[in-house]
Amino acid sequence: MPELPEVETTRRGLEPWVTGRTLKATRTYQRSLRWPIQAPESLNGATINGLYRRGKYLLFDLDLGIGNSGTLIVHLGMSGSLRVLPLDTPRLKHDHFDLHVDGPRIAGGSDQGSLIRLNDPRRFGCVLYQSGADAEVHPLLAHLGVEPLGNEFSGEYLFQRSRHRKLAVKNFIMDGKIVVGVGNIYAAESLFLAGIRPIVPAGKVSRQAYADLSDRIQSVLSNAIRQGGTTLRDFVGSDGKPGYFQQSLYVYGREGQPCRVCMTRLKGITIGARSSVYCPNCQRRSGFQPPKLDVAG
DNA sequence: ATGCTAACCTGCGCGC
DNA sequence: TGCGCGCAGGTTAGCA
């Protein structure tokens, strides 16, 4: 479930509960996620300097003392969520991992701090550890593409990286080695808003179309973050509340329904083993774009 | 290098 | 009501 907006929503919710706090202990209930959970005993007592995000990865920056540092790397996979809970909260099904942090209690909690608890029904997420000051040397992070909301991302960047590429433009923008954080929902939405058909080869999309697409990717992600992300089934923020961006979706999950702009019946196709929905009328071009309604920015 | 497929795992909705 | 099937927000490994 979680794409960039959901991970960022989680990060923002968690940040005040972890920054500057002591990691008193970790607890692993179900070790076998995508990879076995890595949380060495030596992390107990570390100071959490900050909580960062790289793509869909959450990075707990740890100070282990005597000049040692490290990073706990958490990915939420398809169905994961991290919540802040009172220390003595009973464990529910699919609760796999806890961070026990000190600090002022939350409502109903004890004085001993709080719990950051990972729940992940499908167990596609992960909890990994990278020692040292630079988490980006970790193999999972080392080759990631640019941040879509960062300065290196632009239409020109997409245009240059896509030359001679034959895969569908939808798969291209979902490729984490190109740009991180854009998953199946936001890829579909961005392409709709840019008027680009998802199946066209990435290498045939024009410079102008990529300029438009990069703007749409940024606005869709920003708007979704503002709405607390998209909740289809599992996702809840760190406060346990769902996101609301699903109300703003134009095409994702709307196959067969009328386009919200032109009322044309939305079409569903499979691209790269992922379901895709688009409007055959609004999404025509691989190059020049005819006049289009100014839908949601 | 590029692009496609299978694989990981659980739950849910649908048709019969 | 129950059962089997297909599908679901991600990403990597492996193969052509």
Residue spans per domain, chain A? 4-142, 155-278
pLDDT of A77-128, one tens digit each?
999 999 999 999 999 999 999 999 998 755 555 567 999 999 999 999 999 9
Average pLDDT over residues A264-284: 96
Choosing from A56, A83, A117, A197, which is the catalytic residue? A56
pLDDT of A122-154, one tens digit each?
999 999 999 999 999 999 999 999 999 999 999
Residue nearest B12, CA–C1′ metric: A233
Architecture of domain A155-278: Orthogonal Bundle (1.10)
Choosing from A2, A5, A148, A198, which is the catalytic residue? A2
Average pLDDT over residues A61-68: 96
Q: 3-class DSSP state for residue A215?
A: helix
Average pLDDT over residues A51-72: 97
Four-way CATH pick for A4-142: 3.40.50.970, 3.20.190.10, 3.30.200.20, 3.30.470.20: 3.20.190.10
Nucleotide C16 C1' to residue A180 CA (A): 27
Residue nearest B3, CA–C1′ metric: A167
Give me the sign of the Cα torsion angle A44, A54, A274, A267: positive
Average pLDDT over residues A13-18: 98
DSSP string, A253-296: T-TTSBPTTT-PBPEEEEETTEEEEE-TTT--BSS---------
Q: How confident is the model at residue A291 (pLDDT cuts 50, 70, 90)?
A: very low
Q: How confident is the model at residue A297 (pLDDT cuts 50, 70, 90)?
A: very low
Residue nearest B6, CA–C1′ metric: A273
Nucleotide B10 C1' to residue A246 CA (A): 23
Q: 3-class DSSP state for residue A32?
A: strand
* Shortest CA to C1' contact from A57: nucleotide: C10
By the 8 A CB rule, do A77 and A126 touch? yes
Give the contacts of A178 (CB within 8 A, at least 6 positions apart): A145, A146, A158, A161, A172
| Amino acid type, A135 | A
Instruction: Reply yes or no on whether the pLDDT at A241 is more than 60.
Output: yes
Strand B, nucleotides covered by protein (CB < 7 Å): 2-12
Q: Is A274 a catalytic residue?
A: yes
Q: How confident is the model at residue A285 (pLDDT cuts 50, 70, 90)?
A: confident
The pLDDT value recorded for residue A108 is 58
Give the contacts of A118 (CB within 8 A, at least 6 positions apart): A74, A80, A81, A82, A95, A96, A97, A98, A125, A127
Q: Is A2 a catalytic residue?
A: yes
pLDDT > 90 in chain A, percent:
90
pLDDT > 70 in chain A, percent:
93
Instruction: Reply yes or no on whether the pLDDT at A183 is more than 90.
Output: yes
Instruction: Reply yes or no on whether the pLDDT at A35 is more than 70.
Output: yes
Assess whether the region A4-142 and the region A155-278 belong to the same CATH fold. no
Mean pLDDT of chain A: 94
CA nearest to A203, candidates A161, A171, A163: A163
The pLDDT value recorded for residue A103 is 84
